[in-house]
Structure 1
Amino acid sequence: MALKISSKRTDSKFLVKSHEGLEDFSKKEEWEQTHRISLMNNQLSTLPETLDCRNLLTLLLQRNKYLTSIPEFFFKSMCRLQILDLHGTNIVVLPSSLSNLIYLKGLYLNSCSELKEIRSSVEALEHLEVLDIRKTKLKLLQIGSLVWLKCLRLSLCNFDVANYTQAQVSRFDLLEELTIDVDYLGLFVEESPVWEGSLTFHFAVGYHDSAIAHVLESIDNPSYNILKLANGDGVNPIIMKVLTKTNALGLIGYKGVLSLSDFGIKNMNMIFDCLIEGCSGIKTIIYGNGTSKAVLEWLKNLHITNVPELENIWQGPVHVGSLARLTTVTLSNCPKLMKIFTNAMIQQLIQLTHLRVEECHRIEEIIMESENTQLENQALPKLETLELIHLPQLTSIWAKDSLEWPSL
């Protein structure tokens, strides 16, 4: 549809031939005067010696795995190019004509595992904002003059051996996003203090293919520090150290823990968003026993899905101030969950705005009468939306039918 709409415009010409098994670059008459070209996911092994595309803004050549070289003058005429994506190719060198791309804003070279050299003077790329060199053989020092970058994505192998210190990154003082892929999180956390500074970090430990986990990356606040732990086991001091600086936590398929409390509840004072998915050992979210003051007082959003052994959200006392800023709770596919709110817990939920409960087959009451004998009728004053989906045992929301629900 996008191509159909763009074909009617006189000021924009697109050439898109992706996943077509192309072995040769398109014919000259197809790419002349083109504004955007996408030949990604093909079988290209060579490119034209020169490409006269003076109007070209976007060039996407990613995942052409047979592409091993770029002609020296290939970029010479692309003076307006803004986006260049070569990731997943097997190029070894970037040619000197790269310096002609003076308006380039985004350069994606990630997973070019053979790339080890840039022949051009990178200082010419004075409008470049986003650079991704993860899983390449380029060294950080080779792009060190690009001090105006806003987004820099690296792997640990891009640092000089035994020299990946804060000093190597600190020169990029306009950075808004720094991504560093590491094979072993502990080594990076212990040896490089840059993650504890003013930069935002996104740490992902372990592989997952969860779709819902991406909710952590679409959080409204781009300055959140994010930690995702996928398919791991148990607790170690490195994780507990990172948690003290974490704003959004995701546990996906994690084993060896019975609750969040196992990570040390005092380490989670800065958590605003929490996602728990597919963690087969978790039986409760928080153990209140052993705490002497408010916990999770900054938590705003709690999402729990596919946790088969979950029996309740909170066990034990709930100190005043705990969960005081919680606005959203979603619970889905928790077959053993029988109760959601204890009396002590519901009294603290003065900001709860959205509650969604789905596919929790043992729940009979949303607010259990036996757990909330002293519940005041002004409870949950901010609740605006209540979604109850496929709860076959549900008999009531609140048996006494006395809540005022002023905001519902």
Structure 2
Amino acid sequence: MSTLSTKQAGMELTEPLKVEQWHGAVEIHLMDNNLCELPESPDCPQLKILFLQGNADLTMIPTLLFNHMPVLQVLDLSFTSIQDLPISFFKLVALREFLLRGCELFMELPPEIGQLKKLEKLDLDGTQITHLPIEIQELLNLENLTLSFYEYDTGYDSIIPPGVLSNLQQLIELSIDVSPDDHRWGSHVKNQHQLLEG
């Protein structure tokens, strides 16, 4: 059983690892490099941890990248330049930690996030999302949730749909960063207060 480790981190790599280097790996540490692309669909039946944070030139995740990562538990894409998630991401049903911290071009969390039932930690600090999808309430194992919301005129009246946070009964840590000028936050707090009183 081979493991790719921190020897691949901070090495100023510009080319992705060869596909055969992914196969058999339990952990892959490729953070703080200069990667701008990743393999299309590597076969990673044993991969549990994938660190890709700090690759600022990485703008797109291949559509099929996560197709063959059935046991992936930790994925860190923080401080990359990705704008969205490929459909294969939502096949990561074993995922427990997903970090998108500092992804300033990432603007919307898809409703399919609700499919990742084992997720325990979700970090969206420093993204440009404007709201949470209601499907976030399906993440019943979520213990740590970090959010920051950007104010756009998107037509969404609510930052967090009513009842979503109260449904996350395993939640231990919650951090929310909101622009003080975002009128939706005041409305959200008022609505939550009325729900608690009712």
TM range (shorter): 0.7 to 0.9
Q: Which letter does structure 2 place at the counterpart of 1:56?
A: L
Any idea what SS the aligned residue of 1:94 has?
Answer: coil
Any idea what SS the aligned residue of 1:140 has?
Answer: coil
* CA distance, structure 2, for counterparts of residue 182 and residue 49 of structure 1: 36
More strand by share: 1
How far has the Cα of 1:126 moved from its partner? Answer: 1.2
How far has the Cα of 1:189 moved from its partner? Answer: 8.2
* CA distance, structure 1, for counterparts of residue 36 and residue 160 of structure 2: 38
Task: Specify the alignment match of 1:49 in structure 2.
Answer: 40
How far has the Cα of 1:161 moved from its partner? Answer: 5.4
Task: Specify the alignment match of 2:167 in structure 1.
Answer: 171
How far has the Cα of 1:136 moved from its partner? Answer: 1.9
* CA distance, structure 1, for counterparts of residue 180 and residue 109 of structure 2: 28
Among 110, 132, 141, the residue aligned to 1:140: 132
Task: Specify the alignment match of 2:176 in structure 1.
Answer: 180
Any idea what SS the aligned residue of 2:122 has?
Answer: strand
* CA distance, structure 2, for counterparts of residue 111 and residue 175 of structure 1: 22
Contact 1:94/1:117 (CA < 8 Å) preserved in 2? no
Task: Specify the alignment match of 1:192 in structure 2.
Answer: 189
* CA distance, structure 2, for counterparts of residue 92 and residue 85 of structure 1: 15
* CA distance, structure 2, for counterparts of residue 126 and residue 55 of structure 1: 20
After superposition, the Cα gap between the structure-2 partners of 1:128 and 1:102, relative to the gap in structure 1 and judged at 3 Å, is same
* Structure 1 runs not aligned, ≥5 long: 1-10, 199-408
How far has the Cα of 1:97 moved from its partner? Answer: 0.5
Q: Which letter does structure 2 place at the counterpart of 1:64?
A: N
* CA distance, structure 2, for counterparts of residue 77 and residue 145 of structure 1: 27
* CA distance, structure 1, for counterparts of residue 34 and residue 117 of structure 2: 32
Alignment of 1:1-400 (within 5 A): 13-16=3-6, 17-117=8-108, 121-138=112-129, 139-141=131-133, 143-148=135-140, 149-157=142-150, 163-164=158-159, 167=162, 168-184=164-180, 192=189
* CA distance, structure 2, for counterparts of residue 183 and residue 124 of structure 1: 29
* CA distance, structure 2, for counterparts of residue 80 and residue 156 of structure 1: 31
How far has the Cα of 1:93 moved from its partner? Answer: 1.2
After superposition, the Cα gap between the structure-2 partners of 1:119 and 1:76, relative to the gap in structure 1 and judged at 3 Å, is farther
Identity %: 32
Contact 1:111/1:134 (CA < 8 Å) preserved in 2? yes
* Structure 2 runs not aligned, ≥5 long: none
Greater C-alpha radius of gyration: 1
After superposition, the Cα gap between the structure-2 partners of 1:165 and 1:55, relative to the gap in structure 1 and judged at 3 Å, is closer
How far has the Cα of 1:94 moved from its partner? Answer: 0.3
Contact 1:34/1:56 (CA < 8 Å) preserved in 2? yes
How far has the Cα of 1:137 moved from its partner? Answer: 3.1
* CA distance, structure 2, for counterparts of residue 60 and residue 47 of structure 1: 13
* CA distance, structure 1, for counterparts of residue 45 and residue 90 of structure 2: 15
Any idea what SS the aligned residue of 1:153 has?
Answer: strand
* Bigger Cα displacement from structure 2, 42-51 vs 75-84: 42-51
Alpha-carbon displacement from aligned partner over 1:84-124 (angstroms, at most 9, x marks no partner)? 00011111110110122110000001211111345683232
Q: TM-score, normalised by structure 1?
A: 0.41
Task: Specify the alignment match of 1:267 in structure 2.
Answer: none
* CA distance, structure 2, for counterparts of residue 74 and residue 189 of structure 1: 40
* CA distance, structure 1, for counterparts of residue 93 and residue 66 of structure 2: 11
Contact 1:50/1:76 (CA < 8 Å) preserved in 2? yes
Q: TM-score, normalised by structure 2?
A: 0.80
RMSD: 3.1
Q: How many residues align?
A: 186
* Bigger Cα displacement from structure 2, 156-165 vs 141-150: 156-165
Q: Which letter does structure 2 place at the counterpart of 1:192?
A: V
